[in-house]
Amino acid sequence: MNKEEYVSLIDGRDEETARYLFSLARKRREEYYGSKVFIRGLIEFTNYCKNDCYYCGIRKSNRNASRYRLSDEDIISCCEEGYSLGFRTFVLQGGEDPYFTDERMCRIVSEIKKSYGDCAVTLSIGERSRESYQKLFDAGADRFLLRHETADFCHYSMLHPENLSAENRQLCLKNLKDIGYQVGTGFMVGSPFQTTENLADDMLFLSSLKPSMVGIGPFIPHKDTPFADKHSGTLELTLFMLGLIRLALPYALIPSTTALGTISPIGRELGLKAGANVVMPNLSPPSVRKKYMLYDNKICTGEESAQCLECLKKRVENAGCQIVVDRGDVYKP
Ligand code: SAM
Ligand code: FES
């Protein structure tokens, strides 16, 4: 599809088109993955960040954020608990925290791979040099999540301070792919100043990058950011975009995100019904969860990991799918 076709499809959407889109999306997902839903254990290991993204609750200028870092031992014990619960992918996510040098990160990755050789390690630690990405890959990291946030350079500059550019973010994605990572990207739906043309460009960007994973979620304001007074993205548009992504990239691993669950009590179930096939329960120690507050009212910040998983299992079953114990690598024909 070209840009104009995406724009008219998105702008002209109604309930009936959405229902039809979701049925096609589910069919495509089933062709590739059956009714399987993969789980990723999310470990939010630092909320220090040197960046100042206007939308993000852990941006460096937020003096109200109470900062924390997990130790190597804390991270390993999250993996230990996760492994016993059936997780075979660990996602290490954090702000861009210079304390976690290449040496430190490589040590953590190789320690996890040594103890849990049948598991995949996914990193989500922002923009780094190509050399740094290479070292982390050589240490054993399998996958990398880096949302492009918005493909449009001008829109990108409305969401970020001047020192951050869409150009560099997209170069990072290219480097990650060249190195051999399974790459994930994505964007926020309903972010401030976003137009339908921007969403169409995001779709074209995805079609040309062909990432293994695509994470999208509604933008949700955080009270201590410059975007505190902006509106959230809607459930309805986020689900529609999710369905379109499944059709454009039928083989992709697409999470039904926490942000979807935050704007609606059944957001994650609806995400699965619109074509998603991954959920990412929180494995971070409950003591730090409220501190990784990217946006207001984030869910799952009080539970133990086992509780989170039990709750998600029920939600996945309500959506007609099953959680499996599996690394959940991207489909290879
Ligand atoms: N620092 C890493 C990076 O830049 O990729 C990973 C952490 S960052 C907090 C993870 C993602 O959270 C971002 O890519 C962004 O899309 C999402 N996010 C941040 N603030 C948000 C908000 N207010 N609403 C919804 N999503 C948000
Ligand atoms: Fe760095 Fe959000 S500003 S993680």
DSSP collapsed to 3 states, 267-285: HHHHHHHCCCCEECCECCC
Nearest CA to ligand 1 atom 3: 126
Ligand 1 neighbourhood includes 95 CB (under 6 angstroms): yes
Cα–Cα distance between 158 and 165 in angstroms, integer? 10
User: Is the CB of 45 within 6 Å of ligand 1?
Assistant: no
CA–centroid distance, 126 to ligand 1, in Å, is: 10
Torsion of CA 278, 243, 152, 262, to 10 degrees: -60
Could you give the CA distance from residue 330 to residue 50 in angstroms, rounded to a whole number?
32
pLDDT for 318 equals: 97
| Cβ of residue 144 lying under 6 Å from some atom of ligand 1 | no
CA distance 283 to 184: 20
CA of 294 to the centre of ligand 1 (A): 7
User: Ligand 2 atom closest to Cα of 58?
Assistant: 2
| CA 56 to ligand 2 centroid distance, Å | 6
Torsion over CA: 89, 95, 98, 99 (sign): negative
199: left (phi over 0), alpha (psi -120 to 50) or beta: alpha
Cα-to-centroid distance, 78 and ligand 2 (Å):
22
Q: How far is CA 2 from CA 13, 126, 200, 241, in A?
A: 17, 30, 8, 15
DSSP state of 78: H
Ligand 1 centre distance from Cα of residue 10 (Å):
24
Smallest CA separation from ligand 2 atom 4, residue: 95
Coil, strand, or helix at residue 101?
coil
What is the Å distance from ligand 2's center to 147 Cα? Answer: 12
Q: Whose CA is nearest to atom 3 of ligand 2?
A: 59
Top mutation candidate among 96, 227, 292 for ligand 2, by most atoms within 8 Å of CB: 96
pTM here is 0.98
Calculate the alpha carbon distances from 51 to 96, 131, 143 in Å. 7, 21, 22
Digits of tens for pLDDT over the chain (333 positions)? 999 999 999 999 999 999 999 999 999 999 999 999 999 999 999 999 999 999 999 999 999 999 999 999 999 999 999 999 999 999 999 999 999 999 999 999 999 999 999 999 999 999 999 999 999 999 999 999 999 999 999 999 999 999 999 999 999 999 999 999 999 999 999 999 999 999 999 999 999 999 999 999 999 999 999 999 999 999 999 999 999 999 999 999 999 999 999 999 999 999 999 999 999 999 999 999 999 999 999 999 988 989 999 999 999 999 999 999 999 999 987
Say yes or no: CB of residue 56 within 6 Å of ligand 2: yes
Q: How far apart are CA 294 and CA 221, in angstroms?
A: 9
The Cα–Cα gap between 109 and 141 comes to 6
Cα–Cα dist 199/204, whole Å: 9
125 Cβ inside 6 Å of ligand 2: no
Is the Cβ atom of 160 under 6 angstroms away from ligand 2?
no
Contacts (Cβ under 8 Å, ≥6 apart) of 311: 303
